[in-house]
Amino acid sequence: MTQDSDNASNPTPSIAAAPSIRPHAIRRLYDWVLLWAEHPQATWALFIIAFAEASFFPIPPDILLLAMAMGAPARAMQFALVATAGSVLGGIAGYGMGWGLWGSMDSFFYNYIPGFSAATFDLMAQQFADNTFLTIFTAGFTPIPFKIFTVAAGAAAVPFLLFVVGAVISRALRFSILAGLVMWLGPAVKLWIDRYFNILTIAATIILILIVVVLRH
């Protein structure tokens, strides 16, 4: 699959036409995101979805990145860069939402941002206080919903520059590894990625945390 296909029979989804959240909507959103893989504007769709996922959208950009990389392995790293840029800028938007709206619109976050709750925010705030950079890295590198951390970071007034640096490093590392696996090993690696990639990122993060703990003591 390539994002530059000019086949007129390709579906032409619209960013504004994404289904609303209701029973089974996540599956529909997942399928809708994948429709973009063969669309001529797939690169822009990847950027927009990565941006949205970092602040409110429930479907991660990984699935579209993977589909596009499999269709055009030579451009996999370019797609990873696009996803990183969109995700970091979306993270900044999420940070701004948390920084500017928290306290006056708490119920909005709890009701409309998937995975967000008062308990989640309290946990995130404590983790940011304990180790800001490591918390941001964990959010960006592992499959934990990035949006929860970006909004919580703004609400907790995490130093902005540190937030951006952590987001860039973690998102770039995750997306480039994903793209690199496809580029170097080919489409056959997809099954392995589906089964083990998130486990690998979690394991790597745990190792990093252990290293930090050891160095501190």
In this prediction the pTM is: 0.76
pLDDT at residue 20, rounded to an integer: 42
Q: Note whether residue 75 is domain-resident.
A: yes
Contact (Cβ atoms closer than 8 angstroms) between residue 155 and residue 125 = yes
pLDDT at residue 26, rounded to an integer: 65
pLDDT at residue 216, rounded to an integer: 64
pLDDT at residue 103, rounded to an integer: 63
pLDDT at residue 115, rounded to an integer: 62
Distance CA 47, CA 122 (A): 30
Q: Mind listing the pLDDT tens digit of every residue in the chain (217 residues)?
A: 444 444 444 444 443 333 344 546 667 777 888 788 888 899 999 999 999 999 888 788 998 999 899 888 999 999 999 999 999 999 999 999 888 877 666 666 677 666 667 777 777 777 887 788 888 898 899 888 888 889 889 888 899 999 999 999 999 999 999 999 988 888 777 777 777 777 877 887 787 777 666 656 5
Rounded to 5°, the CA angle 204-207-210 comes to 155
Q: Note whether residue 10 is domain-resident.
A: no
Nearest to 200 by CA among 57, 62, 53, 54: 62
Q: Note whether residue 134 is domain-resident.
A: yes
Q: Note whether residue 5 is domain-resident.
A: no
- Domain tally, the chain: 1
Give the alpha-carbon dihedral of 71, 78, 49, 33, to 10 degrees. Answer: 0
Q: Note whether residue 176 is domain-resident.
A: yes
Q: Note whether residue 1 is domain-resident.
A: no
Angle between helix 62-71 and helix 160-185 axes, rounded to 10 deg = 40
Domain assignment of residue 210, given as a range: 15-216
Q: Note whether residue 2 is domain-resident.
A: no
| Burial (Cβ within 10 Å: 0-12, 13-18, ≥19) of residue 47 | buried
Q: Note whether residue 160 is domain-resident.
A: yes
